[in-house]
Amino acid sequence: MSHKRIPKRKAAIAVGGVVALGAAAILLPSANASQDGAPDDAAAAPRTLKAGDASDLAARLAGTLGDAYAGAWYDGEDKRLVVNVVRGEGDMALKVRSAGAEVREVDNSMAELQAGAGTLKSEATIPGTSWAVDPRTNKILVTADSTVTGDKWDRLESTVESLGSGMATLKKSEGTFRTFVSGGDAIFAGGARCSLGFNVTAGDGSPAFLTAGHCAAAGDAWSDQQGGEPIATVDQALFPGDGDFALVRYDDPATEAPSEVNVGGQTVPIVQAAEATVGQQVFRMGSTTGLADGQVLGLDATVNYPEGTVTGLIQTDVCAEPGDSGGSLFTQDGLAIGLTSGGSGDCTVGGETFFQPVTTALEAVGATLGDGGGAAAGDQADGQDAGAEQDGAGGDQGVQEQSDMGSDRHSGLTRTH
């Protein structure tokens, strides 16, 4: 990992939140079988869950089911967790139902899907391509941008076909995969503009923030104003490779660095970092395009940028543009999920955008979120029943759910308490 310097932000740079797949959840007891061997009705009925509780439950079930587990996603409309179980694993399906999740039997195991991703890596690492496992289709979603043509397209297509029928889908993107440097709040260095992600506390207790690793290539010293005096210095950065993140320390150790995201005239308090869940609604804040929302489409995504390959990213349909790099990806209830890395398209036509998981970045740089809020997301679930029913409307303050992706991206906000 390279070491550099970057800017500090005054007192108003944001931290985003997300729901952790690895959070500790309390599973419900196994259902009692009826006389004919069927589970009782209460155990068989999927429970209504908040997205955070659903991801906690998914993490626990992944460990319980072992090889029978083939991914999970959150059904935001019905507010249920859907868990893929390899076909023929009836006992494991019963455990899923007993825990309050919905079961879907599938053909492709996680081991098979991961092996397919390994083949793509070895045979089709082509700039302008990406892939991630999509649990909703039980396939690998392979995407090629507009630069993948001719022999490169033929190579990618033949590799996908070699995986076998029903293993992967291939789609074409109209845009071009790129990092979103042009440059939450804007930060500047060497003529480049990026966005501050989340304020954190470095391992030695000093104030710092996270942003995209590729932003650090623009320079060591960062300012919060175009051409302004540096306020922060890059300490650690990674890009390309196993992530796209940077830790930037504020030059003034007395800098106030609140754990919140500035969404334009309002702030969303960030309570902790957490893992993303496929199907989860998320919000992105960037210095170029402001606030945008969308869904998580895939996890552990590999993206082949012109500068190199980055692994372990979150794939979404949230739009972004140059200058949004490093910005916050968070949930409406104050969970920090990711840092904007790159993608294709823009906020007029849409496209794919990839994010660095906050949990991975925090662990790598030895920082904590806000005032020590970077503990495993499971800590938040302590004392709670992950299967507790939610009506989906209560308890979610901060960024209200919004379907309008138009120009007024701040109208769905409300200050949290």
**Which residues are the active-site residues?**
214, 244, 325
Q: How far apart are CA 36 and CA 303, in angstroms?
A: 50
The b/e string for 190-203 (b: 16+ C-beta within 10 A; e otherwise) is: eebbbbbbbbbbbe
Structure tokens at 316: 């979404």
Q: How far apart are CA 293 and CA 399, in angstroms?
A: 10
Q: How far apart are CA 297 and CA 252, in angstroms?
A: 39
Contact (CB, 8 A) for 53 and 386: yes
Identify the CA nearest to 369 among candidates 382, 379, 355, 383: 379
Q: How far apart are CA 142 and CA 130, in angstroms?
A: 6
- The residue type found at 382 is D
Quick one: 175 exposed, middle or buried, by C-beta within 10 A (0-12, 13-18, 19+)? middle
Residues forming a β-bridge with 342: 179, 354
